[in-house]
Copies of this chain bind each other. A is one copy, B any other.
Amino acid sequence: MSEHAPITGLSRQLGFIREINALKNILRKSLMPDSERFENSAEHSWHVAMMADVLSEHANETIDVGRVIRMLLIHDIVEVDAGDTDLYDAQGRVEQHDREARAARRLFGLLPEQQASEFRALWDEFEERKTADARFAKALDRFQPLFLNFQGGGVAWIRRGIRRDQVSDASGVIADGSMSLWHEAQRLITEAHERGWLV
């Protein structure tokens, strides 16, 4: 864009759209089922947003599926600055919230003021898990890598020597959002363990 374009709402919004493109280069710990590459956080966000639409009837509580989808689309944007934090990295997770809160201030702050507040509030809601929408969104965010790693024959777990109890503990929040998905998660974990994919 021209350097002399006036700073309008639209140009701030496009600046944000440009900046978040970098989420496509943030790699997660999940492998694609063919094991050839890691999943990135942008395509993960698409996948969980689709899951919200398809699986909404399995939420424990009444939810607003449109809000859940919006929440999941933005839930990882902070990783543009803060990077992906490994679910099984206890030390990394201690500092995760501060790092991500700084990222949220900068990234959502690129938007016009009112919109910045709105997006920030939606991200805070997801993080705090105090609403039905946030609990269901978090359940999907936790179920998706388990599902993906299972589809990939557990290679992502095997390579890192992940234990059954680590996956079980991490899947606890799934029950808060969807008992159906929690039961499915237990079934996948048991089967993965029987097949020797989890220690």
User: Which chain B residues border A40 with CB–CB below 8 Å?
Assistant: 43
Which A65-104 residues have C-beta < 8 A from chain B?
66, 69-70, 73-74
State the number of copies, please.
Answer: 2
> Count the A residues whose beta carbon is within 8 Å of the partner chain — how many?
49
Question: Using an 8 Å CB-CB cutoff, how does the interface string of A35-59 with B read, 1 for contact, 0 for none?
Answer: 0000110110111011101110110
A2-B191, A32-B24, A55-B13 known; A49-B49 Cβ under 8 A: yes
Query: Is A180 positioned at the interface, with any CB of B under 8 Å from its CB?
Result: yes
Which A143-199 residues have C-beta < 8 A from chain B?
147-148, 150-151, 180, 184, 187-188, 191
Query: Closest residue to A58 on the B side, CB-wise?
Result: B10
Query: Closest residue to A36 on the B side, CB-wise?
Result: B25
Query: Is A1 positioned at the interface, with any CB of B under 8 Å from its CB?
Result: yes
A56 → chain B closest CB, angstroms: 10
User: Which chain B residues border A55 with CB–CB below 8 Å?
Assistant: 10, 13, 17
Decide: A10 and B70 in contact? CB cutoff 8 A: no
User: Which chain B residues border A47 with CB–CB below 8 Å?
Assistant: 17, 20-21, 24, 42
A189 → chain B closest CB, angstroms: 12
User: Which chain B residues border A42 with CB–CB below 8 Å?
Assistant: 42-43, 46-47
A61 and B65 CA atoms in complex are apart in Å by: 23
User: Which chain B residues border A137 with CB–CB below 8 Å?
Assistant: none
22 contacts between A and B (CB under 8 A): A1-B188, A1-B191, A2-B191, A5-B187, A10-B180, A13-B54, A13-B55, A17-B147, A18-B151, A23-B46, A24-B32, A25-B34, A43-B43, A43-B46, A46-B49, A46-B73, A49-B73, A50-B74, A53-B73, A66-B66, A69-B70, A69-B73
